[in-house]
Amino acid sequence: MTVPKTSDLPSDEKERLFMQLKEEIRQRVSDVQSGNYYTDDDLKIQYNL
């Protein structure tokens, strides 16, 4: 898959992608604040590290 340069995207597409990124960040921050995340120990156990 080739990712286009941002300058190749129409401005409405840039805005849509920015809003999508903003929502994903908001959701991840909310997840962390509510304690919904994996700790280093959780990942070590899950991946046998």
pLDDT digits (tens, 9 = 90+) for 1-49: 566 665 688 899 999 999 999 999 999 999 999 999 999 999 999 999 9
Backbone angles phi, psi at 37, to 5 degrees: -160, 165
Confirm whether 1 is domain-assigned. Answer: no
Say what the pLDDT of residue 9 is. Answer: 81
Question: What is the spatial distance between Cα 25 and Cα 49, in angstroms, rounded to a whole number?
Answer: 28
Confirm whether 49 is domain-assigned. Answer: yes
Say what the pLDDT of residue 40 is. Answer: 96
Confirm whether 28 is domain-assigned. Answer: yes
Name the domain count of the chain: 1
Confirm whether 42 is domain-assigned. Answer: yes
Confirm whether 4 is domain-assigned. Answer: no
Say what the pLDDT of residue 37 is. Answer: 92
Instruction: Report whether 43 contacts 49 (CB < 8 A).
Output: yes
Range of the domain at 45: 22-49
Say what the pLDDT of residue 3 is. Answer: 66
Helix (H, G, I), strand (E, B) or coil at 4: coil
